[in-house]
Chain A
Amino acid sequence: MCTVGGPVDIDIPPDRVQGKDYRCNECGERFKGIGKKPICPSCQSDDVAKA
Chain B
Amino acid sequence: MNYALNDELLLIRGKLSFLLVAKVRSSFGLCIETSNDEYCQGVDAGDLVVVSAPEGGAVEPALMLTDLVRTFHVPLLVLPRNHPGSRRISYVVSVGPEIFTSCSVQRGTHPDQHIICSSDELAGLTLKRSGKGIDIFNLPESIIPKHIKFEIKTDFS
Contact = CB atoms under 8 A, between A and B. Distances in A.
A47 B86 CA distance: 37
Contact of A32 (B37, B105, B120): B37
Contact of B35 (A14, A35, A38, A41): A14
A19 interface: yes
Given A37-B42, A41-B29, A44-B28, A14 B54 contact: no
A39 B26 CA distance: 12
A11 B42 contact: no
A33 B119 contact: no
A8 interface: yes
Given A5-B87, A17-B111, A41-B31, A32 B40 contact: yes
Contacts of A33: 39-42
Contact of B38 (A8, A9, A31, A37): A31
A1 B54 contact: yes
B40 A38 contact: yes
Interface of A: 1-5, 8-15, 17, 19, 22, 31-42, 44, 46
The 7 closest A-B pairs by CB, nearest first: A41-B29, A39-B29, A14-B34, A39-B42, A37-B42, A2-B54, A4-B87
